[in-house]
Amino acid sequence: MIHFVGAGPGAPDLITLRGAQLLRQADCIVYAGSLVDPRHLEGAKAGCEIHNSAAMTLDEVIAVLERVHRSGGLVVRLHTGDPSIYGAIREQMDRLSQAGIPFDVCPGVSSFCGAAAALKAEYTLPGVSQSVIITRRAGRTPVPERERIASLAAHGAAMVVFLSAGMTKALQQELLEGYAADSPAAIVYKASWPQEKVLRCTVGTLAQTAAAHEVSNHALILVGGFLGEDYELSRLYDPAFTTAFRQGTEA
């Protein structure tokens, strides 16, 4: 059996209980070494076969998964955050399906959640934004034309930009097509890792802030009014608001 497991944003204790149990049981772990904190491997049982997929091709990864499965072993394919977000798991699952190999997916805490926690922020503030856009800037990997940063920025929603910390100058220019220069922004480097950095700035000072702190990878860029001071209180706890669980004072 192959288990795709989300490792969480970084800190080993932010993996799910199920994911941690699978790691302890695994006969083989193939982990995304460029992003997964190696401390996750400390609980692996004696004799567990461990591979760093950062140096492997898709064919090489599948060959390991298939070999260990055919020999009766339990394999954990360990991805950063939640594997459904920029995890490149679809191509692996399709290959396993073609080979008749069973697999499942254990979700994880995405780094966009870890970044919000580091900022002590809420993405969905009443009166500010009720939508979160998760995206990336086009680089060596293209994005569909309709999903250009400038197009998405026009919504003014809360935005989390992955895999773009090395392109902040160009990213800033594209964001400015939708957000005002003084719109709040933040750079969160390695959320929940010991090396975590939280850098608050504005859209207009994004590139300058990244350069000043020498951040060019392993960081998320967050933009939107949810990082500001103004918002409306939730009606959920408004004494005048009636819910299924209590009677409000409104007429």
Q: What is the DSSP string of 34-91?
A: TTS-GGGGGGPPTT-EEEEGGG--HHHHHHHHHHHHHTT--EEEEESB-TTTT---HH
> Of 106, 131, 159, which closes a domain?
106
54 and 140 together in one domain: no
Confidence at residue 13, expressed as pLDDT on a 0 to 100 scale:
96
Does residue 248 fall inside a structural domain? no
pLDDT tier at 106 (50, 70, 90 boundaries)? very high
Task: Convert the pLDDT of each residue in 236-246 to its tens digit.
Answer: 888 888 888 88
76 and 138 together in one domain: no
Which residue range is the domain that position 222 belongs to?
111-227
Percent of the chain with pLDDT over 90: 89
213 and 119 together in one domain: yes
Judge whether residue 251 has pLDDT over 80: no
| Mean pLDDT, the chain, integer | 95
Does residue 233 fall inside a structural domain? no
SS3 call for 6: strand
What CATH number does residue 90 fall under? 3.40.1010.10
What CATH number does residue 186 fall under? 3.30.950.10
- What is the average per-residue pLDDT within 156-164? 96
115 and 217 together in one domain: yes
Task: Convert the pLDDT of each residue in 202-218 to its tens digit.
Answer: 999 999 999 999 999 99
Task: Convert the pLDDT of each residue in 38-78 to its tens digit.
Answer: 999 999 999 999 999 999 999 999 999 999 999 999 999 99
Element (H, E) at 221: strand 219-223
Confidence at residue 247, expressed as pLDDT on a 0 to 100 scale:
83
Task: Convert the pLDDT of each residue in 161-196 to its tens digit.
Answer: 999 999 999 999 999 999 999 999 999 999 999 999
**How many domains does the chain fold into?**
2
